[in-house]
Structure 1
Amino acid sequence: MWPLFLIGLLVSGSLSIPLDLESRLVDLERKFEQQLLVNRRLQGELTVIRNSNRGLPLYPSLLEEDPADGSHSTDKRLLQQELPVDGIGFYAYMSTDEPDPRGHHTLVYDIIQTNLGQGYNKNTGVFTVPKAGLYSLTWSTRVACHLAHTTELVINDRILGSTYAYCGYNTVTGHVVATVSQGDVIFVRTHSTSPGQGAIKSNEFGRSAFSGFLIH
């Protein structure tokens, strides 16, 4: 029907598209091109998101609602399932002051917060290297007012680092990066010939602590 009608209009020379219809067609074409641009942009953003999430573990259950109250029970679900953690690292601090350590005295940090690889012993204060590699090791020592202490970081029988703190409840931190072998022992001790004075402090206002982790 439409072809015959159009042919008739052509033959009669009276074919003319209404101006309002032509403007609508132009407007539709413009909107279509804009929508294509939006779709391309969204597709690009989706690709970026997929690439950034690639390899990450998914735990959809963490976002599920608790049927009892309808709220998200993230904390409870995190406690119920263990998330996989790789690596070697430890962090421990003294629960109380070391009242009067003498020279050549190994410091024991008895409160363990982190012990990946189970290399640190809270009873001896010694970290036994579970895997050879490059390690970052840090220790902090807090001293009482007007007193002084020197501490040493020891790997087997080698002193790799030392710190000195003196006067008003100061805290000093030492840091060592070292390549070590499996089975090496690492610990912190007071200076062998300069035993220091008074207590090494550790409480909620400042902790004496020992930590380390495998870099690679």
Structure 2
Amino acid sequence: MMYWLVLVFFILLSHTKAEKVLLGKIKVPDINGDDRTVYSSDESLRRLVESLMERVDRQDAKIQSLEMVVKDTMEDLKRKENKISQLERELRTVLKPYQNLANNRKDMPAENSTGPSRPRNIISDDMDVIHSGQESVMDSNKEQSSSKSVRVLPNGSGAFSVSLSGQDLALHPGLVIAFDEVQLDVDGNYHPGDGVYTVPVSGVYVFTWCITGTTTDNVVTELIVNGSPRGTAFSDAESGHTWDSSTGVIVTSVHADDHVFIRSKFSGSIHSSSSYGKARFSGWRLT
């Protein structure tokens, strides 16, 4: 503001001097032929000063407006900087667990150069061990000396799995279901001719069987040990006239030379095929 006042002062000073030099006294011709002298009016000077003051006021208003814009811009920048700092802190917090994980991986020993090991398929690996029978026992010392340990099942493990060949089998009360296809029989204790499994070693065993009843027939089957029922499975195929499957699972204690088999409790019909699933009977010793 002081700058503009000084500027107005010098402009007024120069304008006054110019008026004295250029205007001074002005001779105006009279109609009677006589010249008369008049002095310049102060009105033009007043108007000039007012115009300059108005111009100064407008410039001052513009400066104040620009100052407000600059102030708002600075405050906005400050808020954005605070927001960026907050986001950086949050990002570091989120990434910290992953950085720790990466550091832990760096500290882990390198894997074998032969490549990653294949995930162990428990079922297939155990079946391979069971099939090996006595050969697995004879080679157990060699296996123990290798880098990969293998669980070896000894003789008397009692594992077996059998199924019924593709057919529809009509049932009647007390019929022993003879599963005629043998997939697994470690100790040779299952007899496909009569469907009876003979327990090789006393212990706790798991027995399971799966039966599919055909349309309009409810099928009830039992797990029998030496003539006594230990468990029952019910296939409700009659309701809705559709096929229905049931699976029984029994954990029970048995003794050596006990006879275990599946028997129908009532009349009915069961289905067994590769397309829709075969009737199956399996078991193995736990302890």
TM range (shorter): 0.5 to 0.7
Q: Which residue in the other structure is 1:135 paired with?
A: 205
Q: Find 2:180's aligned residue among 100, 110, 116.
A: 110
1:201 Cα deviation from its structure 2 partner? 0.6
Specify which of 166, 179, 189 is matched with residue 263 of structure 2.
Answer: 189
TM-aligned CA distance change 1:178 to 1:41, over 3 Å: same
Match of 2:246 in 1: 172
Structure 1 residue ranges without an equivalent (≥5): 1-39, 47-77
SS at match of 1:117: coil
1:41 is displaced (CA, Å) by 5.7
1:124–1:98: structure 2 CA closer, same or farther, 3 Å change rule? farther
Shift of 1:118: 1.2
**1:53-202 maps to which residues of 2 (within 5 A)?**
84=136, 86=153, 87-167=157-237, 168-191=242-265, 195-197=266-268, 199-202=269-272
Letter in 1 for 2:232: S
The structure showing larger relative contact order (alpha-carbon pairs under 8 Å, at least 6 residues apart) is 1
Q: CA RMSD in A?
A: 2.4
SS of the residue corresponding to residue 100 of structure 1 reads strand
C-alpha separation in 2, matches of 1:188 and 1:126: 8
The 4+ residue runs of structure 1 with deviation greater than 6 A are: none
Normalised to the residue count of structure 2, the TM-score between the two structures is: 0.45
**What's the offset of the Cα at 1:99?**
2.8
TM-score computed with the length of structure 1 as normaliser: 0.59
Is this contact kept in 1: 2:162–2:179, CA < 8 A? Answer: yes
Higher helix share: 2
Distance change >3 Å, CA 98–CA 41, structure 1 → 2: closer
Q: Counterpart of 2:246 in structure 1: which amino acid?
A: V
Question: Residue 215 of structure 1 aligns with which residue?
Answer: 286
Q: CA contact under 8 A between 2:158 and 2:199: conserved in structure 1?
A: no
CA deviation after TM superposition for structure 1 residue 196, in Å: 2.6
Aligned residues: 140
Identity %: 25
Letter in 2 for 1:105: L
Partners of 2:221 and 2:166 lie apart in 1 by: 18
Cα distance, 1:41–1:161 mapped onto 2, change above 3 Å: closer
How much does 1:91 deviate? Answer: 0.3
> Any stretches of 5+ residues in structure 2 without a counterpart?
1-106, 113-127, 137-151
